Structure 1
Amino acid sequence: MFVPGFRELVKEGWVKILDELKISGGLPVPELSRRLGGSYMGMKDQCDRLVKLGYLERWRLPRQEVGRPEIMYRLAPKSEAMFPQAGVSLSLELLEAARTLFGDAAPERLLMQYFTQLRERWRPKLSKAKSMVERATLLSGLREKEGCFGRCKYDPARGFRIEEYHHPLQPVFLAFPGAITLEVRMMEELLGTRITRKEVPGGRGGPARIDYEVATLGVREGA
């Protein structure tokens, strides 16, 4: 999810490259070409332009077999400005001020009010969905408008889930872990089913992310 308005100002191909590298953590040109379409040389040219602008980095990944190291591309620190942080410094200062003025429970009460208002704002938008998958997909889209960045995924072994690679409130969650429970509870109330939140560490398989696994046999609200 780019800062609002940026998608209209930059080249569509560049947006797709940055999105894909945000999700994957880093890819070589052939794999980017396979996922996004287009020629090898065209994709390499776009990646090299983004390197010159400071939004991508190149590095060499040693091959496990004989051969030259594979050239990989990943997001540079400069690209993180494309993913909004929701005024984190101000949010944290206000929550700490509330704790100082009104006691230790004040920050959680404020965060509870925030998620309650978010739930009531989103509820009408999800009410016309005809299936759990449709509701969860709509919820993922609404979260992206708030600054999250993720994808809906499904496989027979794990079922349906929302994989998120960026959350603008992550620093708030680190300072106030109770907010995580409040957010999950809000999502469960909107979908009418159980949500299992799992933190997936980064590594060779990709960047760190948060998985929200949606129970496929949940009971809808009001059922």
Structure 2
Amino acid sequence: MLIVNQYFKILRNISKPHWFDILELIKCSQGMSVGELSEHLGMSYMGVKKHCLAMQKLGYLDTWRKPKEVGRPEKLYRITEKLALLFPSIGDEVSLSILEAASQLEPNAAEKLLLHFFRAETDKLAVLLEGATVKERAIALASERAKRGYFSRVIEEEDGMLRIDEFHNPLQALFDKYPTLERMEVQMFERLLGAGVGRKVTKVSGLSRYRFDLFPR
């Protein structure tokens, strides 16, 4: 009951005008400055700063300083662990315990179960994805992944190259325990998109970005 009450308390607080928009932008990044938030939201600098300071006071945001080649470090806002309830994880202790128990019965049982999961997930997503081009399928995939809590975005570079950026992995606990999941995830992307995929994870000041570069075949 304590977790549920805390969850609704957070929802009540962030339901204030502009707060959710600010949190969503920050979540889909590795930290953002007040100036960047102001530009994205079309709001005044001081208006955004006021909201950020209020959320920082509640413990929902804190700041870190990103070094710059020239000048003073840039002050960026990031989401704190206090908002973890809003970003669910399904790779919890129960899932890990079940996989560990399966491994005791058969050495490769956990990997086989996880492979089955990714194949089933691929089949489900394949039905939902429409598009004749890699870009169209990438947009559809990012949309479906966003619904599943991955905070996915499609980025098109100036040279026309595409990538999918994600800022949350609900299965991270499983990925930490079973590194072969990275290969399974890449294979799923490749099958769904009909393109080569390169996966790269970057971590900055505790903030993770999962980058999937797409290479049309």
TM-score range, shorter chain: 0.7 to 0.9
For structure 1, the residue ranges without an aligned partner over 5 or more in a row are 219-223
CA distance in 1, matches of 2:75, 2:132: 45
Distance 2:63 2:115 in 1: 43
| Cross-structure match for 2:111 | 108
Determine if the alignment matches structure 1 residue 99 to structure 2 residue 126. no
Structure 1 residues 57 and 154: CA distance shift in structure 2, 3 A: same
- CA 51–98 in structure 1, closer or farther in 2 if over 3 Å, else same: same
Preserved CA contact (<8 Å) 2:26 2:32: yes
Q: How many Å apart are 1:62 and its aligned residue?
A: 8.4
Alignment partner of 1:18 out of 18, 23, 26: 23
Distance (Å, rounded) in 2 between the aligned partners of 1:199 and 1:187: 15
- Choose from 35, 42, 61 the match for 1:56: 61
Displacement of 1:132? 1.2
> In structure 2, do the counterparts of structure 1 residues 165 and 62 end up closer, same or farther at CA, with 3 Å as the change threshold?
closer
| Larger displacement relative to structure 2 (73-82 or 106-115) | 73-82
Q: Which amino acid aligns with 1:160?
A: L
Task: Spell out, residue by residue over 1:23-57, the C-alpha distance to the aligned partner (whole angstroms, 9 max, x if none).
Answer: 33333322211122111222122112212222012
Alignment coverage as a number of residue pairs:
206
Which blocks of at least 5 consecutive residues in structure 2 are unaligned? 1-6
Report % sequence identity.
Answer: 38
2:154–2:163 CA contact under 8 A, matched in 1: yes
Instruction: Name the CA shift for 1:49/1:176 in 2 (closer, same or farther; >3 Å).
Output: same
1:45 corresponds in structure 2 to 50
Task: Tell me which of 79, 83, 102 is aligned to 1:79.
Answer: 83
What secondary structure sits across from 1:208 in the alignment? strand
TM, length-normalised to structure 1: 0.81
Output the amino acid matched with 1:117. A
Q: How far, CA to CA, are the matches of 2:111 and 2:64 in structure 1?
A: 43
Please state how far the C-alpha of 1:58 moved relative to its aligned partner. Answer: 4.2
> Alpha carbons of 1:47 and 1:90: their partners in 2 closer, same or farther (altered >3 Å)?
same
Distance (whole Å) between structure 2 residues aligned to residue 60 and residue 141 of structure 1? 31
CA-CA distance at 1:80 after TM superposition: 2.6
Deviations 1:107-138 (A, max 9, x none): 11101111111111111111x31321010111
Q: Which amino acid aligns with 2:208?
A: A
Task: Identify the match of residue 182 of structure 1 among 184, 190, 195.
Answer: 184
Tell me which amino acid in the other structure corresponds to 2:39. Answer: R
- Partner secondary structure for residue 195 of structure 2: coil
TM-score normalised per structure 2:
0.83
Distance verdict in 2 for CA 1:57–1:179, change over 3 Å: same
Deviations 1:133-177 (A, max 9, x none): 010111111112222122211113571010111111111111111
If asked which structure has higher relative contact order (CA below 8 Å, sep 6+), I would say 1
Please state whether the residue corresponding to 2:132 is helix, strand or coil. coil
Structure 1 runs, 4 residues or longer, greater than 6 Å off: 60-63
